[in-house]
Structure 1
Amino acid sequence: MGLWIPVTIAAAFFQNLRSALQKHLKGRMGSTGATFARFGFGLPVALLYLGLYVGATGEALPALNAGFLFAALSGGIAQILATFLLVYLFGFRNFMVGTAYSKTEPIQAAFFGFLILGEAIAPLGLLAVVAGVIGVMMISLGERAPKDVLKGLATREAAIGILSGTLFGASAVAFRGASLALGDGTILMRALLTLAVTLAIQTAVMLAWMLMKDRDELSRVLKAAGPSLLVGLMGATASAGWFTAMTLQKVAYVRALGQIELVFTFLASVLWFQERITRLEFAGSAVIVCAILLLIGAG
């Protein structure tokens, strides 16, 4: 089994925790503040991880270059916009439809990976990616009839969700490109440095925006510093896993395997909370598991 597989599963687990905490923040601040919490409070954690790694190994930081900085900047801004749109969906009554369409990200990442990095996906891998997306949408849509999925395409929520997935896919490919552009350094060093630089860019961009346009929102973020720090901790830990996995493997495979996050949610619902599940949700989880097995075989 490739190292990228357990790293991706761990990243998906921490992302699940971050999403739950971030959704809780939405009640205490707006979409901009909840988005900033992920990056601004994640930056100190990322710098700590990088410092601990350098201190433990003595490895020198790779030299930055124009290609790396452009990819980090492009991916960072795309991820800000994608995160904002996803958090914004929480305010809609029918946000689950939009969220389901945002999960088309692995397919879009496969397209961007081929277009930008020239990375082709093997037929078995592409089948696994598509199957994983179908399984996630089955879980996300719950008891909604298939016709409702098609109707949902014409809604504002679906448009926001698809755009969010597009931006997430593009950002993931940009982050892989940034890490690969460093050239020198171990896999973990390149991943941690890419994470730290990206979060620094994202924090600076969002902080400048809020200082100019929304100082009240920045004040609300500071008042919720405790919960925001937890979001940053979970977010940075998840991102460190994602960046490491995407340095090791093609983005489409990593993001498709990352859909196991929905299986974690499903298992918690059934085993911990004793909640009733629908046949469609059960079938969706089974499809995701099959997709993961296909990915392991393809990867």
Structure 2
Amino acid sequence: MLWIPFTLLAAFMQAWRNAFQKKLSKDVGVAGVTLARFIWASPLAALYLLGLNHWQPAHLPEFSFGFGGFIVAAALAQILATALMVKLFKLRNYAIGAGLAKSEAVLAAVMGVAFFSESLSALGWVGVGLGGCAVFLLSGASLRQMSVPVMLLGLGSGLAFALTSLWVRQASLELGLPFPHGAAWVLLLVILLQTAILLLWLSLKDKPTLTALWRRPKLTLLVSVCSCFGSIGWFTAMSLESVALVKTLGQVEVLFMLLISAFVFKEKLQNTDRWGLALIVLAAIAVMWA
């Protein structure tokens, strides 16, 4: 059951990371805000891996071609997912933008069963379904509110996040290392690759964005720290349990987002919030029992 506290840690830290990204997006472009998620996370991930090996020494992993493919695919998918979410922040309010991207739990369940040999019990599917309904209610969105660009960006971000999670889990399982070393290696390699890709792209195409990040060191550091701790939680939980169950329980992040939205960004919440919160609780109970 260790996947449960790791998932809750991930959800809490990701809610704050999204909040800091929203604030940073007011002054920095999409690629720059995406880079802020990774740029200071690499040394933190390296320290985490070193600490694990000091606490419980493990042999160095043997990297296969398949493992490398999963790492590259996960890194690119997460960059795309983050960029789409940042664009959502600019179109709708914070809760709706991030809430739409949480469609990843339902998408991860469907794709995991269809293409990644994962299985879900009937109770697990109930939890996933309840979680999807809860996210829609808690986001404060309605079909009449959402334009086609908003829906496409939200579903696109959710799909990219779902693929990221599924490929991260496959990469962790591929290494065959003891818990939680496999997830720590995957975390470090994915973040290093993402940082290198975005730094190279911005150095060649958009140097002013790098300058803008340099002028906002505290906010950039906060985004990276929250992202790193959130990723430690997600990667570790997904090495222990199916992506669908982890992401469904992780939808408690929307609760954290709503609280941040109300108290930090002073955004008005919807009357449907209490029903959404009730569904989140039911979904969490269902997936924990599943």
How far off its partner does 1:191 sit?
0.7
How far off its partner does 1:104 sit?
1.2
| Residue correspondence of structure 1 range 8-47 to structure 2 within 5 A | 8-47=7-46
| Residue correspondence of structure 1 range 38-187 to structure 2 within 5 A | 38-93=37-92, 97-141=96-140, 149-152=142-145, 154-183=147-176, 185-187=177-179
Distance of 2:115 and 2:241 partners within structure 1: 15
Q: Is the 8 Å Cα contact of residues 82 and 168 (structure 1) preserved in structure 2?
A: yes
Q: Is the 8 Å Cα contact of residues 238 and 246 (structure 2) preserved in structure 1?
A: yes
Partner of 1:3: 2
Distance of 2:26 and 2:147 partners within structure 1: 28
Q: Secondary structure at the residue paired with 1:83?
A: helix
One-letter identity of the residue aligned with 1:107: V
2:249 corresponds to 1:257: yes
How far off its partner does 1:139 sit?
1.0
Distance of 2:262 and 2:163 partners within structure 1: 34
One-letter identity of the residue aligned with 1:136: V
Kindly provide the CA deviation profile for residues 180-210 of structure 1, in whole angstroms up to 9, marking residues without a partner as x. 1111x21210011000000011111111111
One-letter identity of the residue aligned with 1:282: R
Q: Is the 8 Å Cα contact of residues 89 and 97 (structure 2) preserved in structure 1?
A: no
Q: Is the 8 Å Cα contact of residues 95 and 254 (structure 2) preserved in structure 1?
A: no
CA distance change for structure 1 residues 86 and 233 in 2, over 3 Å: closer, same or farther? same
How far off its partner does 1:274 sit?
11
TM-score normalized by structure 2?
0.93
2:216 corresponds to 1:216: no
Out of 273, 281, 286, the residue aligned to residue 273 of structure 2 is 281
Distance of 2:260 and 2:217 partners within structure 1: 28
CA distance change for structure 1 residues 51 and 91 in 2, over 3 Å: closer, same or farther? same
Identity of aligned residues (%): 36
Kindly provide the CA deviation profile for residues 60-116 of structure 1, in whole angstroms up to 9, marking residues without a partner as x. 222211111110110110010010000111111467555443221111101221233
Partner of 1:192: 184
How many equivalent residue pairs? 290
Distance of 1:209 and 1:129 partners within structure 2: 37
How far off its partner does 1:296 sit?
1.1
Q: Secondary structure at the residue paired with 2:90?
A: coil
One-letter identity of the residue aligned with 1:45: L
Q: Is the 8 Å Cα contact of residues 97 and 157 (structure 1) preserved in structure 2?
A: no
How far off its partner does 1:46 sit?
0.7
One-letter identity of the residue aligned with 1:119: E
One-letter identity of the residue aligned with 2:162: G
One-letter identity of the residue aligned with 1:234: C
TM-score normalized by structure 1?
0.90
Distance of 1:25 and 1:60 partners within structure 2: 40
Q: Is the 8 Å Cα contact of residues 95 and 257 (structure 2) preserved in structure 1?
A: no
Kindly provide the CA deviation profile for residues 135-177 of structure 1, in whole angstroms up to 9, marking residues without a partner as x. 1110111xx6xxxx33356521111111111111111100001
Moved segments of 4+, more than 4 Å: 93-98, 266-278
Name stretches of at least 5 consecutive residues in structure 1 with no aligned partner. Answer: none
CA distance change for structure 1 residues 257 and 6 in 2, over 3 Å: closer, same or farther? same
Distance of 1:132 and 1:75 partners within structure 2: 24
Distance of 1:17 and 1:267 partners within structure 2: 10
CA distance change for structure 1 residues 130 and 39 in 2, over 3 Å: closer, same or farther? same
Q: Is the 8 Å Cα contact of residues 61 and 189 (structure 1) preserved in structure 2?
A: no
Distance of 1:222 and 1:49 partners within structure 2: 25
Q: Secondary structure at the residue paired with 1:27?
A: coil
2:196 corresponds to 1:204: yes
How far off its partner does 1:59 sit?
2.0
How far off its partner does 1:36 sit?
0.3
One-letter identity of the residue aligned with 1:160: L
One-letter identity of the residue aligned with 1:48: L
One-letter identity of the residue aligned with 1:49: Y
Distance of 2:32 and 2:81 partners within structure 1: 14
Distance of 2:192 and 2:37 partners within structure 1: 12
